[in-house]
């Protein structure tokens, strides 16, 4: 029994696993070709240098740590090409990240500008229809005229502004031609964008 235990201890001291979980006997064989099915004798497993790298691990590295990995893998780029390319891809991703973020911001800014212009055009059309449809084109009451209020602001401002400064004629007009607030307009635009999707589905 004692002899069997001693044998197991000797084996344990002479064997080790690499990071891929392979038994390497003796440990000095870590730098020799791997004959498992993953490499078929074509690649080596240098100590602590996996052929493939976990993506979460790569993303957890600091820039300095990633640079060290680049240096380590560049020595084995011929035998550990996949890992080397993974590191280069992660480095490129970090380099591109600020550019992509700026592009997303620019795209969002352009979208807001376009939507603001479209809403402005819509309220302009509402204003023109009201001015042409109301007898005499009187849109402001006396308080609005004295305060120098822009009659167009009654088509985009809060309801209390309409209650305070709109003429009776404009209030009647709004009763049959409801104002399109920005929130309502945005909701209508979203519904119109979803309509083609529902038709396709």
Whole-prediction pTM: 0.54
End-to-end CA distance of the chain: 72
User: Residue 78 pLDDT > 70, yes or no?
Assistant: yes
User: Residue 178 pLDDT > 80, yes or no?
Assistant: yes
Residues 26 and 14: beta-carbon distance below 8 Å: yes
pLDDT of the residue at 156: 86
- DSSP β-bridge partners for residue 11: none
From its phi and psi, is residue 179 left (phi > 0), alpha (psi between -120 and 50) or beta? beta
The more confident residue out of 121 and 38 is 121
Residues 87 and 70: beta-carbon distance below 8 Å: yes
110: confidence class by pLDDT, cuts 50, 70, 90: very high
11: confidence class by pLDDT, cuts 50, 70, 90: very low
User: In angstroms, rounded to a whole number, what is the distance separating the alpha carbons of residues 63 and 133?
Assistant: 66
From its phi and psi, is residue 102 left (phi > 0), alpha (psi between -120 and 50) or beta? alpha
User: In angstroms, rounded to a whole number, what is the distance separating the alpha carbons of residues 61 and 149?
Assistant: 59
pLDDT of the residue at 50: 75
Chain mean position to CA 91: 19
């Amino acid at each position: 029994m004692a002899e069997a235990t001693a044998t197991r201890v000797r084996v344990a001291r002479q064997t080790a696993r690499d990071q891929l979980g392979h038994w390497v006997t003796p440990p000095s064989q870590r730098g020799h070709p791997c004959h498992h099915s993953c490499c078929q004798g074509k690649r080596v497993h240098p100590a602590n240098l996996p052929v493939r790298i976990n993506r979460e691990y790569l993303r957890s590295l600091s820039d300095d740590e990633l640079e060290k990995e680049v240096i380590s893998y560049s020595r084995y780029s011929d035998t550990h090409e996949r890992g080397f390319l993974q590191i280069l891809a992660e480095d490129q991703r970090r380099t591109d990240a600020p550019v992509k973020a700026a592009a997303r911001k620019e795209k969002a800014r352009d979208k807001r500008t376009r939507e603001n212009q479209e809403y402005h055009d819509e309220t302009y059309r509402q204003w023109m229809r009201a001015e042409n449809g109301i007898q005499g084109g009187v849109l402001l009451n006396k308080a609005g005229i004295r305060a120098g209020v822009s009659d167009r602001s009654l088509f985009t401002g809060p309801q209390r502004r309409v209650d305070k400064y709109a003429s009776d004629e404009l209030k009647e007009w709004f009763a049959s031609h409801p104002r399109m607030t920005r929130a309502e307009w945005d909701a209508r635009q979203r519904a119109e964008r979803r309509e083609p999707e529902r038709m396709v589905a």
